[in-house]
Amino acid sequence: MLNKAHRVAAQISSMYRYEKFLLDVQSLTVNGSRRKTILNDLQRENKQIMALQDENRQLRETTKEYLSTIREILESHAELEAGIVV
């Protein structure tokens, strides 16, 4: 009877170790508990990328406006110089 109790205790101990091993392995996989963390990180990075893309678009538009204004100023300056020289 005592021998049987030791075998049952050993089996239970093995089952606990196996369950802990499975939980450890599962935490390292995408399908495990890290999946939510990974998804949250990806969503946060995606939002940052979208914000940077929007900022990049706005900066391009502003740069185009500045260049257009500078061209107009240079053209006006060239016309004034041509008028003074003549």
pLDDT at 39: 82
Per-residue pLDDT, averaged over 74-85, amounts to 89
pLDDT digits (tens, 9 = 90+) for 7-64: 888 888 888 898 888 877 776 666 655 777 888 899 999 999 999 999 999 999 999 9
pLDDT at 6: 82
User: What gap in Å lies between CA 68 and CA 62, rounded to an integer?
Assistant: 10
User: What gap in Å lies between CA 1 and CA 7, rounded to an integer?
Assistant: 10
pLDDT at 74: 96
Q: What is the residue extent of each domain of the chain?
A: 1-32, 35-86
Is residue 78 within 8 A of residue 72, CB to CB? The reply is no
User: What gap in Å lies between CA 50 and CA 44, rounded to an integer?
Assistant: 10
pLDDT digits (tens, 9 = 90+) for 50-79: 999 999 999 999 999 999 999 999 999 999
Phi first, then psi, for residue 19 (nearest 5°) are -65, -40
